[in-house]
Chains A and B, each alone.
Chain A
Amino acid sequence: MEQFKRFHEVAADPATYARQWKERTRGRVVATLCSYAPEEILLAANVLGFRILGTESPIVRADAHLQSYSCTLVRGALEEALAGRLDYVDGVVFPHTCDSIQRLSDIWRMNVKTGFHMDLVLPADLTTRASLDYMTAILETFARELGEKLGCEITREALGAAISTCNQIRRAVMRIHALRNRVPEAMAGTDLHAMVRAGMVMDRKEYLSLVTSLATALESEYPTSQFYGKRIVVAGGLCNMPDLFDVIEQTGSRVVMDDLCTGSRFFQGIVEPDGDLFRAIANRYQSRIVCPAKHSGLRARGEALVQMARESRADGVMFFCLKFCDPFGFDYPYIKQMLDDNQVPSMLFELEDSLAADGQFETRCQAFIEML
């Protein structure tokens, strides 16, 4: 679809986008490893926050540092860095998530030259007052240190403005997600995926204007739905495989909602900017659906997914997870059980870095959808 074209371009080659952006703006690019890197602070520091997601090239160099039993996101990201393909990066931010990312941070710091290296050691338990206090404190320190590294000061005004931009982006993107849910035929899964992917690497102001006009255009173009196919919710760990959506939708069904950190979760929740802005940012992290590497109560993620499936009137849930992803691996059985208890059919697909050429995924995917 025409309106998504720009997103497809960027998503297909984020590196070229970043290089051109640098040339155009003379700005700096800060790479991040997960959705817990505070967008608002990066934006307030006037840098391009750039989420790294694995590699599309074969993994060779990273094998000298990481065992074969680490996930391809971790191995792929290191491969990109070691191969020198991140030459446009001026600094890296490692938010604390899973054990693998935490070790990747060490290995990266010891072996890779991608400018400055910052560890943002976030709490893992996001339910307590103590962790909110701690997160607030380290976000503030992070902003100060980031400013020092860049030779600028992140002012309250700049942070306030950045929060407002990020919130507007989130609102616009969530409008588009809501529309997809209401009128599934309005866009293809790959379109939405490209839009989300672009949102993690594009100049946020440019992105905001694109998603805002897109939301408005789509809403007027697709007031009602004629869609009677199967409605699928996609959930699970990190996923950067646009082909998946095509395979699913070739069956005539549509992805109507997702719970992926490289999907809607990236944009969920609004930062309510009153009082301490760092606390406001921390509050959002504490209240949105968490990544499986974080703790937010014993059933929070399961309940959220059941609710998502119900609200989006899903016929089934497809779980995608990267092989060797521990946090997801521990959550999956109970979440699946909760879906079963609520009569929501689901199926797990474990993936490495790309779809196997043998068509196995296609076959299982079709079988699942036919069964719904």
Chain B
Amino acid sequence: MRYTILSLWFAVATFAQIKAPSDEASLRNGHTLYQFHCSFCHGKGDDGMAANLVSPNLVHAPTDSSLVNIIRNGIGGTDMPPALGMTDEEMLQVAGYVRSLGRTAQTSIPGDKAKGRALYNGKGGCAGCHMVGGSGGRMGPDLSQIGAMRSPSNLRTSIVEPNAAIVGGWTMAHLTLKSASKVSGIRLNEDNFYISLRDGKGKIQTIAKADATKIDRDITKSSMPSYEKVFTPEEMTDLIAYLFSLRGAM
């Protein structure tokens, strides 16, 4: 019976938007199915060889309908295959689980976000390296949607112990050139022959590796120091409340 209703719903869904379920039982089933069908390539969501799913906005799936459609049919021209042996209901559950990876619920958490914002821009100097809504520095990830992507405890870890929460694509590289001058920056690209860096001022330079006598890369070290001692516990709570409220234009 349940399936009859579901089929009817799918017929209707051709015209209406599908909404992936977010109740606990569906998420649990979705997780089990995800482990079986998706984790081979996507890992836990952000550690696999395929696309990172821990994002509030999935490039190929702006809506739940398009996400279900991708699970059903794969993505042509990529390695993403169609679902194998999943029912319509199961695909919806997987979609719900995938959405949950990239969207932390906007729950009420302790702290004063207005104070947190003042700390972010003032005492913390966070805007020196991070952008929110198009303003700020360029040495760290854009935080405009960080609250939708990370839980409060994950945000705390990133601030207190940055090396435990390294984000790919932000590796610092330090080059000593043949001229003995030194260059450091966020590594934008590296291949066998060239390395491209962006420095703190946003200046980008590409250097032939043959011109460097030494190249060090901070693979396991974040360029962000720990801010544990910068803030009082109350201030930390306020800062996290501010960061958790950052949800972009969603």
Q: Verify that A and B bind, or say they do not.
A: no
